[in-house]
């Protein structure tokens, strides 16, 4: 359990412009005071992140969000039903918005989320600052879902890593652009399009000049190559399974995302199992087919990017 003292010292660090890694219900974030340019620049530096990728700002509640950005009717509705939770809204910045322009990477919009994790909420309340936080990994690599993963990725580079155990959801938030008349999903995530469509009509995603890191071709990648839709597995490969496994798997490393074929369980296990199989030293991870429905859409999105040709 995290002590109140740890929350207080992490909050003090944030207020001083330092970076703090903290758990959310989706993945661990690398946080900094979103109103402090230097602090936000630190995030980009620590992650090695291309600077055209904007960041998500975490706030305690919708009233805090409204200090920085404008909500139309659809945004209000989605915030009402899904906050706190794994939904990020891309909103127009208010004219007097005090958030660093760096979090928007030059765009007139800002991505905001109210996390539903007691430690994230405690940190927001204690520090009193909005927290810019991408996933706490080196840019392009697998997102961390435990504090140990954060140590593997960024240990030595940051002074504070709050340990809140394993993340419940295990996949990043769903990013929805609500700046226009019709909301558009920019990145599939923990909340499915079916869930969102219960509350408002959704427009189709049209790729624009807006770079979303979730939209970069290669992302979420382990060291090993990935081979998707595997129905067989080679001796030199490791296997990331889903559901019942009928192919022979003696002598190879296997992780099963969900033996009972449950997509929620699979999402929660995805990044951890990719890391575990990567550590076996296998050159390639064969991945069984995941159904393209519900949370499977976000899981397949991450897998496709992890399998994409790597950037130099
Ligand atoms: O679950 C999550 O969302 C985690 C936890 C820590 O909250 N955070 C996360 O942040 O995944 P990050 O930086 O890895 O992903 C931010 C996503 C990217 O796809 C980015 O392009 C998009 O949000 N984004 C941020 N600001 C945007 C903006 N103004 N316009 C369009 N997309 C934006
Ligand atoms: Mg990320």
DSSP letters of 262-312?
Answer: -HHHHHHHHHHHHHHHHHTT-SEEEE----SSTTHHHHHHHHHHHHSPPP-
107 Cβ closer than 6 Å to some ligand 1 atom? yes
42 Cβ closer than 6 Å to some ligand 1 atom? no
With the most atoms of ligand 1 within 8 angstroms of its CB, the residue from 91, 103, 107, 111 to mutate is: 111
Average confidence (pLDDT) per 10 residues, the chain, 312 residues: 90 98 98 96 88 88 98 97 98 96 90 98 98 95 97 94 96 96 93 95 70 61 95 96 96 97 96 96 97 95 89 60
d(CA 175, CA 264): 18
Tokens at 165, concatenated: 């155990």
133 Cβ closer than 6 Å to some ligand 1 atom? yes
Which residues have a Cβ under 8 Å from the Cβ of 229 and sit 6 or more positions away?
287, 288, 289
Atom of ligand 1 nearest to the CA of 113: 7
Give the pLDDT confidence score for residue 65 in this predicted structure. Answer: 98
Give the pLDDT confidence score for residue 209 in this predicted structure. Answer: 42
Nearest residue (CA) to ligand 1, atom 21: 212
Q: What's the 245 CA to ligand 1 centre distance in angstroms?
A: 35
With the most atoms of ligand 1 within 8 angstroms of its CB, the residue from 32, 69, 208, 213 to mutate is: 213
Which residues have a Cβ under 8 Å from the Cβ of 50 and sit 6 or more positions away?
139, 213
Tokens at 3, concatenated: 């002590």
Torsion sign (Cα): 137, 302, 219, 69: negative
Question: From the CA of 213, which ligand is nearest?
Answer: 1
300 Cβ closer than 6 Å to some ligand 1 atom? no
Give the pLDDT confidence score for residue 249 in this predicted structure. Answer: 93
89 Cβ closer than 6 Å to some ligand 1 atom? no
With the most atoms of ligand 1 within 8 angstroms of its CB, the residue from 175, 191, 216 to mutate is: 175
In which element (H, E) is residue 64 found?
helix 62-66
Q: What's the 237 CA to ligand 1 centre distance in angstroms?
A: 32
d(CA 155, CA 176): 32
d(CA 269, CA 82): 23
Atom of ligand 1 nearest to the CA of 109: 29
User: Given strand 56-58, what is the order of strands in its sheet?
Assistant: 160-161, 20-22, 29-33, 131-132, 56-58, 109-113, 87-92, 174-177, 184-187
Contact assessment for residue 255 and residue 276, using Cβ atoms and an 8 Å cutoff: yes
172 Cβ closer than 6 Å to some ligand 1 atom? yes
């Amino acid at each position: 359990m995290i002590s109140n003292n740890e929350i207080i010292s992490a909050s003090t660090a944030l207020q001083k412009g330092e970076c703090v890694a903290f758990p959310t219900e989706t993945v661990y974030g690398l946080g900094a005071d979103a109103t402090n340019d230097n602090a936000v620049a630190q995030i980009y530096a620590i992650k090695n992140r291309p600077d055209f990728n904007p960041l998500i700002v975490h706030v305690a509640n919708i009233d805090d969000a409204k200090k920085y950005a404008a909500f139309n009717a659809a945004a209000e509705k989605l915030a009402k039903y899904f906050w706190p939770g794994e939904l990020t809204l891309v909103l127009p910045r208010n004219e007097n918005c005090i958030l660093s322009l760096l979090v928007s990477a030059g765009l007139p919009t800002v991505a905001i989320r109210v996390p539903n994790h007691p430690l994230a909420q405690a940190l927001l309340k204690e520090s009193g600052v909005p927290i810019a936080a991408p996933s706490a990994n080196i840019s392009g690599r697998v997102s961390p879902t435990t504090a140990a993963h954060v140590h593997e990725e960024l240990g030595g580079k940051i002074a504070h890593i709050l340990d809140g155990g394993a993340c419940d959801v295990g996949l990043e938030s769903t990013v929805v652009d609500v700046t226009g008349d019709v909301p558009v999903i920019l990145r599939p995530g923990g909340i499915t399009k079916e869930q969102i469509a219960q509350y408002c009509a959704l427009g189709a995603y049209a790729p624009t000049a807006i770079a979303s890191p979730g939209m970069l071709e290669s992302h979420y990648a382990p060291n090993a190559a990935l081979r998707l839709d595997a129905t067989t597995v080679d001796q030199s490969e490791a296997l990331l399974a889903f559901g019942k496994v009928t192919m022979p798997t003696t002598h190879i490393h296997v992780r099963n995302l969900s033996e009972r074929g449950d997509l929620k369980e699979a999402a929660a296990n995805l990044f951890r199992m990719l890391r575990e199989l990567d550590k076996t030293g296998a050159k390639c991870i064969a991945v069984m087919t995941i159904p393209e429905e519900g949370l499977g859409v976000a899981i397949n999105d991450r897998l496709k990017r992890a399998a994409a040709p790597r950037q130099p």
